[in-house]
A = this chain, B = another copy of it.
Amino acid sequence: MTKGVGARDTVPVPDTLPPPRRALTDVVRSSLEARILNGSLPPGTRLNEAALAADLGVSRGPVREALRALEQTGLVEGEVHRGMRVRVLEAEDVAEVYDMRALLNGFACARLALRATPALLAPLHGFVVAMEAETDAEAYYTLNLDFHAAIFAAAGHRRVAAAYDAALREGWRARRESLVAVGNRQDSNAEHAACMAAIAAGDAAEARRLGEDHVLAGKRRWLALLAG
């Protein structure tokens, strides 16, 4: 921190994240998580510590710590002396993740119904309208993610939100594949609208039911895709 003081301003940070001097472990963790989630590292891929370390320009220590953290989240798994691999989800696992998300989404919707204000609901309605008009699958996928994230943010329950987030990360693949079908998107958004109506009406029981059913309908759509 001497002659380089001013230099920090000349080197713009990636402008997406604030520059919270993160340790290498977190950098590695984010990088690996991104690669797994975007498909660069498909399920089953062996994760060679030395190769990853070399690729990221760090030593194996931070890589091992990052892998240990990802192991806890369920994104990777491994056995002693056999290394880590990107977790492969069986159909039953995916189904379980759907169940979990349904449970959490129902809870969030019910809670939101009890604390909803016009100011809270307005942006949520905006998402539904935007999804209604969206024809691009990729854009819809992103909007859908943001919509659900907004629901949980508005519901104001950190643990349930965190658990939903974890479930999303674990089951991203099935959900993404499922939303590609345009018919699925229309059905899905109709469910969004119905759930929002219940929330706006302050009907917690109905909001919960619809919030759960929405995710379980997603599960059925995925199962249908799996079958045919």
Residues of A within 8 A of B (CB): 21-23, 25, 61, 64-66, 68-69, 71-73, 80-81, 93, 96-97, 99-100, 103-104, 107, 157-160, 163, 167
Contact = CB atoms under 8 A, between A and B. Distances in A.
18 contacts: A21-B80, A22-B80, A23-B80, A61-B64, A64-B65, A65-B68, A66-B68, A68-B69, A69-B72, A72-B72, A72-B73, A93-B159, A96-B159, A99-B107, A99-B157, A100-B159, A103-B107, A159-B167
Contact of A158 (B21, B65, B96): B96
A103 B73 CA distance: 20
A129 to B, nearest CB: 30
A99 B159 CA distance: 9
Contacts of A96: 157-160
Nearest to A106: B103
Contacts of A65: 64-65, 68
Contacts of A73: 72
Given A96-B159, A99-B157, 13 more contacts: A21-B80, A64-B65, A65-B68, A68-B68, A69-B72, A93-B159, A96-B158, A96-B160, A97-B159, A99-B107, A103-B103, A103-B107, A163-B163
